[in-house]
Chain A
Amino acid sequence: DADVTQTPRNRITKTGKRIMLECSQTKGHDRMYWYRQDPGLGLRLIYYSFDVKDINKGEISDGYSVSRQAQAKFSLSLESAIPNQTALYFCATSDWTAGSQETQYFGPGTRLLVL
C-alpha cells in the first residue's frame, strides 16, 4: 500500500464550486504539506502543518484553506474554485527529527481542472 495517498486522483469542477482534496499518510509523520504544480513554475507551497495544532500559510495560500483532522490526514479546500486553480496538486509528508536530513515523501498527485 502507498504511504501517502490522495483522493481524488482527477477532478473536474465548475467555477464557484467548493471542492476538497484529501491526503492520508501511514508513515506516522508529523509534518504535512500541500503544493501545486504548474508548467514552468515548478512546485509551490500552499499550506503546511507541523502537527495537528500547527498550520501555516505557504507561498500561495490565497483562495485555499486546509484542515488537519488528525496526524494522518490533511485536507485542502477550494471554497470557490476559479479556473486559474487548475493545476496538479501534491500532498507531502516529512520525517523531521532533531539533526536529521528532512526528506519529503509525496503522494501521487491530484489533477484538478476548473471550468
Chain B
Amino acid sequence: AQTVTQSQPEMSVQEAETVTLSCTYDTSESDYYLFWYKQPPSRQMILVIRQEAYKQQNATENRFSVNFQKAAKSFSLKISDSQLGDAAMYFCAYSLDFNTGNQFYFGTGTSLTVIP
C-alpha cells in the first residue's frame, strides 16, 4: 500500500525567511508523481508544485522548490522569501502512473504559520 507521511504537524517561519516542509512516501512503484498542495483558510486546495519520479531535476515554481530524493523516498518543499500569504496547511500527495490506475494519496498535512 502507498502511504505518505508528513512528520511535521506544525511549522513556523519568519516573514522573508526560508522554510522546508518534509514529506516521505512508501511505494514499490517506479513511475509516479508527487505533488504539494496548499490549503489556505478559504479551504480551497491549490496545487503548488509537482514532480515526475523519472525526472532527476528538482521542480521549481517561483519561490517554491522541491528536494526530491527518489532512493530515500523523500520529497521536501522549500519556500523561499516567505510571505504572509503562504500561511496555510500544506499537503504532500502521491499519484501512480496512469498505466497502473490513478489514485491520489495524501499526507496528513503541515500547518505553516508565517510570523510578520
Contact = CB atoms under 8 A, between A and B. Distances in A.
Contacts, number: 60
A50 to B, nearest CB: 8
A74 to B, nearest CB: 15
Interface stretch (B68-76, B79-87, B102-110): B102-110
Interface range for A: 20 to 34
Interface residues of B, number: 26
A109 B98 contact: no
Nearest to A31: B102
A11 B84 CA distance: 31
B104 A101 contact: no
A77 interface: no
Given A42-B91, A42-B106, A106 B45 contact: yes
Given A33-B104, A102-B102, A88 B43 contact: yes
A104 interface: yes
Interface string A55-98: 00010000000000000000000000000000010101010101
Given A31-B102, A96-B102, A42 B45 contact: no
A54 B29 CA distance: 24
A101 B107 CA distance: 19
Interface string B88-111: 000101010010001111111100
A102 B109 contact: no
A109 B91 CA distance: 15
Contacts of B91: 42-43
Nearest to B35: A103
B64 interface: no
A45 interface: yes
Interface of A: 31, 33, 35, 40-45, 48, 50, 58, 88, 90, 92, 94, 96, 98, 100-106, 108-109, 111
Q: Which 9 pairs, one residue from A and one from B, show the smallest C-beta to C-beta distance? A: A106-B45, A43-B106, A42-B108, A109-B43, A42-B106, A108-B44, A42-B107, A42-B109, A102-B102
Given A42-B106, A48-B103, A88-B43, 6 more contacts: A33-B104, A92-B45, A101-B33, A103-B35, A104-B104, A105-B47
